[in-house]
Structure 1
Amino acid sequence: MSEVHPREILICTIAKLLDGVRHVAVGASSPIPAAGAMLLRALRQQAGEKGPRISILGSVEHNFFTNGSAELFDCAGQGRIDAFCLGGGQIDGRGNVNLVGTGDYPQTPVRWPGSFGSAYLYYVVPRVILFREEHTPRALVEKVDFISTPGVSNDGVYRSGGPIALLTSKALFRFDKTRPGFDLQSIHPGHDLAGIKDATGFQFAHESQPEQTALPNPQTLALLRGRVYDEVAETYPDFAAQMRREIERPLSHAS
């Protein structure tokens, strides 16, 4: 079996972060979070346990909603979605997310698709995983140019949801809402602490010798490359095909 692809480390890490949830919602353009949720379901079912319900917007087979995002928002507001993965053009050290654009709003020279329902879901879904493959100072900034949705809220604001972690192509951070801020939990193979600091625009807490992100065992990797890639191909056929092509050739963990 070929070595572990960097994206497979991300998929397996997401599966671990989702452990214990009953219902996971996945956005329409999120193949890696979708694969992570499917891997968790496959691992649970392999162990004879009930897997989590997975709702992927845009999927036919892995989506029980009939009215798209309207039902997703209703379900989240009723407390029936436990986890969600949220990305952003910019993410800062307080967990704030920018999905609008860079520069002074509304004169943003770079414009992104917009916030859509991110602000609402960030407030009501208990376990939000911030996910951004790009780990550079332009993506992970000291302060976002525009707050689409805040990482924390003022005292007196009712909020059942919020970030628990930030996962990138280089590292995994845990979010400490009491500070608030990020703690570096582990570094992916091929990277080091000095490189993480150089690539991150905000300050974060860390151990003097951070852990390395765990690699999947052969059984988990086989399940991912078999059943999970088969399942994820229904919604993300190009992603599944690309991953299968890439694991057949030599890889480097560096990104």
Structure 2
Amino acid sequence: MSMIQPPLPREILICTIARLLDGVRHVAVGASSPIPAAGAMLLRALKERAGAAPVKISILGSVEHNFFTNGSTELFDCAGQGRIDAFFLGGGQIDGQGNINLVGVGDYPRSSVRWPGSFGSAYLYFVVPRVILFREEHTPRVFVEKVDFISAPGTSDEGVYRTGGPYALVTGKGLFRFDRQKGRFRLDSIHPGHSFDEIAEATGFTFEHDAEPGVTPSPDVDELDLLRGRVLDELAETYPEFAAQMRQSLTEIA
């Protein structure tokens, strides 16, 4: 009887995202987000296997997994109408108040490093109820005390109407939850293979935490079965290179 291969670090991230999405009806994913897309696909597969209510996924740039016919315009319309429950945002910089910077490093407009730009991040941050921040890289250059430019604010002043905002932050080292009342992050769990001291050293902002933070749960057998089969097959349509890398990594540890 063959033993199941242990989960890859990225498989832990994908399963963590799938669990954070539990309960959503419609999740939208950006064009360059293979790990969030895989998490959404895993949730959909798990729900279908259990006979639960279906989960709708819209991946920008995908032909097969996209309900939109007018690209980002329809995405923004659906979000404003309350028809998208979850979305993913990243950032070149993210601070402890959930602010994200997609513009560049340094004093704008004389940024020493420029990134693609804010696009519609501020709008989506305000109207999508469950925004999950995701950056696989967990270093002090990404997680800073204060972003150099606010592309999208994590919190708003009292009296500002806002139905959306940061829900959680997933990194390559741990999972943080965002406390909207306090306007700051709390370390929820540490991914296997990492430590609290490692996370504290790699994070430029302060965060709340338990005396002994828990360990992020690893995928179970059913999750790994779906992830390594159906999900990778579906993912290959939009992210063929990423799916191939995942399969190669599984082959190397076999």
Alignment TM class, shorter chain as reference: over 0.9
Deviation readout 1:135-184 (Å, 9 max, x if unpaired): 00000000000000000000111000000100000000000011110000
The residue aligned with 1:164 is 167
- Partner AA of 1:152 in structure 2: T
- Whether the 8 Å CA contact 1:182–1:205 is kept in 2: the answer is yes
Match of 1:41 in 2: 44
**Structure 2 residue 134 is the aligned partner of structure 1 residue 131:** yes
Aligned-partner Cα distance in 1 for 2:158–2:168 = 22
What letter matches 1:72 in structure 2? L
Find the counterpart in structure 2 of residue 74 from structure 1: 77
Which 5+ residue runs of structure 1 have no aligned equivalent?
Answer: none
The aligned residue for residue 229 of structure 2 is 226
CA distance in 2, matches of 1:90, 1:106: 16
Select the residue among 86, 91, 94 that pairs with 1:91: 94
Aligned to 1:189: 192
CA distance in 2, matches of 1:220, 1:162: 28
| Residue of structure 2 aligned with 1:202, choices 205, 225, 249 | 205
SS at match of 1:248: helix
Q: Which runs of 5+ in 2 are unaligned?
A: none
Instruction: Give the distance between the partners of 1:229 and 1:216, measured in 2 at CA.
Output: 15
Residue 50 (structure 1) shift: 2.5
Aligned to 2:121: 118
Is 2:192 the counterpart of 1:175?
no
Matched residue of 1:228: which SS? Answer: helix
1:26-75 Cα offsets, whole Å, 9 max, x none, are 00000000000000000000001222100000000011111100000000
- Normalization by structure 1: what TM-score? 0.97
Question: Offset of 1:214 from its aligned partner?
Answer: 0.1
Matched, 1:61 2:54: no
The percent of aligned pairs where both chains have the same amino acid is 72
Contact 1:40 1:51 in 2 (8 A): no
Q: For residue 110 of structure 2, what is the aligned residue in structure 1? A: 107
DSSP-derived class of the 1:233 partner: helix
2:25 matches 1:11:
no
- Residue 213 of structure 2 is aligned to residue 215 of structure 1: no
* Separation of aligned partners in 2, 1:92 and 1:199: 13
TM-score, with length taken from structure 2: 0.98
Measured in 2, the distance between the counterparts of 1:65 and 1:185 equals: 34
- Cα RMSD (Å): 0.9
Separation in 2 of the partners of 1:249 and 1:39?
A: 23
- The structure 1 residue matched to 2:242, chosen from 239, 243, 247, is 239
Q: How many residues align?
A: 251
Distance of 1:219 and 1:44 partners within structure 2: 12
Distance 1:121 1:21 in 2: 16
Counterpart-to-counterpart distance in 2, 1:193 and 1:220: 26
